[in-house]
Structure 1
């Protein structure tokens, strides 16, 4: 008899890769979502069990009670792994209650939310001497003057609460080029009840974006880590990774490990940095405190984050490991990368030749796996259904 692993969020490839990373080791995986529509991750041969829970936002208490009722029926505490920011938020809110029934790496309630929140993250980073983009808060004294002299145009409007913003606008931020666009973007955000901040754009193409992906044990010490370099994002310039390579950048370990250990973080997290094309300085952009897009890439480099989490929480931690060389591996989410490539070429940020040349690298696919093909076919069926729906309308 062994502990089960409960994975929250199975309508995206992050949940799929988490199920695979655990299932290959014979761990009983339990896929949880609020609907069975488009949950292609449950088609994996490594998915042992699937559950439909109350909606985490519409009925959070019912959702938490559902999870506890399930866990309390098990002979051993399950390991709980959220795969989306919205699940992390509700887990953080009810952390003390959930820890009575589940094994969860984080022990400090509120720390997840502090690091996801753009304002509190910036304050913590500055206190630790980690560079962050210059920021002006809406409504502070001399707001427009600071925009004109410190931030300058173009600039970005970022949400304090990213999950709510993305759910509303289907993008991570607004980019504005003048005062009229700035005021319009702020007004749209406030009409949606969302708080935003204004930030300077750090110069550099998308390949100046880097990540530090790390696991911190129960003593808040970094035991496993990988660094990566983004090549393309979707939406372009300010989106999620769609084509990203593993690249050894020791400077990111110096910055990232110091930060995570200082805040006493436990479990997996990822810092996104941008390297200033002019000065070469790394700026902290944001932190992901759950399994990320790059999970299959990390796994292919020898750092299986879901399994590392599971092993430590069930009392048999794996030995420390860092990827301290360039492997040449790239993460590829083909569907959104093709959409991104179209826009990169259209805006003349990349040429066709550059794009074609980039593809000659060994890949860690977001969805496709020869040994587990059903999720990919289910995903293609979902896309075909959406396309047919649009055509019918």
Structure 2
């Protein structure tokens, strides 16, 4: 029997357990090897997946970033020597994206990191200021919310005069410690009067945050639609759209229940955005329907794999595989969407809190019986999969220890 050529592995940087599993399972459909890069000495939970072929342990970057980068470079050099080429590396959350972006000049000798087709600066794509200023310069105001940038106290008076209320504040640049989110337990802050807006901006500027202030497009649940897709180096763009049905928490939280839903208008906007910022790779672009104009407006830009990636893979938009083919095989492949496949995604625990506990419109039993049929049948689960039962077993066996850790 002819020996199969050894496939080049993909590296996945530990960060989001759900995203790590989604990438490994997406590539596992083609029996492609995935190695986890740990952030610390503990074994990452995703390493129990049958689709993860091994773990490379590294120091914790929050404790010793310099040694963490040195460890990555050492691993990269060994892998490059073995396979004769640079290795594709996926961050799985904002902290990992910041780490790799900040040290990109060192890492790019051994790793391929998507985002910048010229491989000069990948960090700019994670900065909201760069994203919105680029779109403003290209006059794409038709799908932009009213946006202001606040870097110093001198900016506040002008913002107060021009902004419409209610409005939101969000950091234009995140940090590796997620200091904004950890303090406020939200990605955004809702402001309903201008005095509170001024006080909050002064407070945040004193903490060295760079800020974006925007009109609140639409607070109504279920009106956010995300574009998920890929732009290759030749400029071809492939994407699908999905609607966020529920978030937890509802304001400034993360989607807990989504479904694939076609929104043709958004494909046009996504194409304009990706071409204007010259982005290469995997991304998510969330839009919100503005009920005043009945048009979608872009909320932000996410230049990496995201929590619901497994739903895109399930319907045929296998984005990690598209990246693998382009980087390692120099092949451009158009995905085929299978409309018969499961078209919903749920993060069960968080969605239970949102749909059953937080929602007070009905009695709790009525909420429970309304919720349960939604998450059974035709659903992709964020963690559990019948094709990867070792992960479920590990979660069950580890439950007592996780509960004890919260006492």
TM-score tier after normalising by the smaller chain length: 0.7 to 0.9
Per the alignment, residue 249 of structure 2 pairs with 235
Distance 1:38 1:151, change over 3 A: farther
Distance 1:381 1:189, change over 3 A: farther
Residue 86 (str. 1) matches residue 91 (str. 2): no
Deviations 1:310-360 (A, max 9, x none): 111002425213649696611111111112224651378x98376456446
Pick aligned residue for 2:163 from 150, 161, 180:
150
Distance 1:328 1:378, change over 3 A: closer
- Farther off after superposition, 46-55 or 196-205: 196-205
Given that 2:41 and 2:58 are in contact with CA atoms closer than 8 Å, whether structure 1 keeps it comes out as no
Given that 2:168 and 2:190 are in contact with CA atoms closer than 8 Å, whether structure 1 keeps it comes out as yes
Number of equivalent positions? 388
Alignment partners' CA distance in 2, 1:194 and 1:380:
40
Correspondence list, 1:136-147, <5 A:
136-138=148-150, 143=156, 146-147=159-160
Given that 1:92 and 1:110 are in contact with CA atoms closer than 8 Å, whether structure 2 keeps it comes out as no
Pick aligned residue for 2:310 from 275, 279, 296:
296
Residue 4 (str. 1) matches residue 4 (str. 2): no
- Farther off after superposition, 56-65 or 286-295: 56-65
What TM-score does the superposition give when structure 1 sets the normalisation length? 0.88
Given that 1:133 and 1:283 are in contact with CA atoms closer than 8 Å, whether structure 2 keeps it comes out as yes
Pick aligned residue for 1:56 from 43, 61, 64:
61
- SS of the aligned residue for 1:287 comes to coil
Residue 159 (str. 1) matches residue 168 (str. 2): no
Deviations 1:10-37 (A, max 9, x none): 5521011111112232222111121354
What TM-score does the superposition give when structure 2 sets the normalisation length? 0.85
Alignment partners' CA distance in 1, 2:304 and 2:163:
33
Mind listing any 5+ residue stretches in structure 2 that lack a counterpart?
A: 1-5
- Farther off after superposition, 308-317 or 167-176: 167-176
Per the alignment, residue 291 of structure 2 pairs with 277
Alignment partners' CA distance in 1, 2:360 and 2:60:
39
- Farther off after superposition, 298-307 or 2-11: 2-11
Per the alignment, residue 405 of structure 2 pairs with 389
- Farther off after superposition, 326-335 or 276-285: 326-335
Distance 1:171 1:381, change over 3 A: farther
Distance 1:381 1:272, change over 3 A: farther
Per the alignment, residue 101 of structure 1 pairs with 110
Distance 1:3 1:206, change over 3 A: same
Alignment partners' CA distance in 1, 2:35 and 2:376:
36
- SS of the aligned residue for 1:314 comes to helix
Shift of 1:107: 3.6
**RMSD (CA atoms):** 2.9
Per the alignment, residue 223 of structure 2 pairs with 208
Deviations 1:139-165 (A, max 9, x none): 566845754763213x22211123532
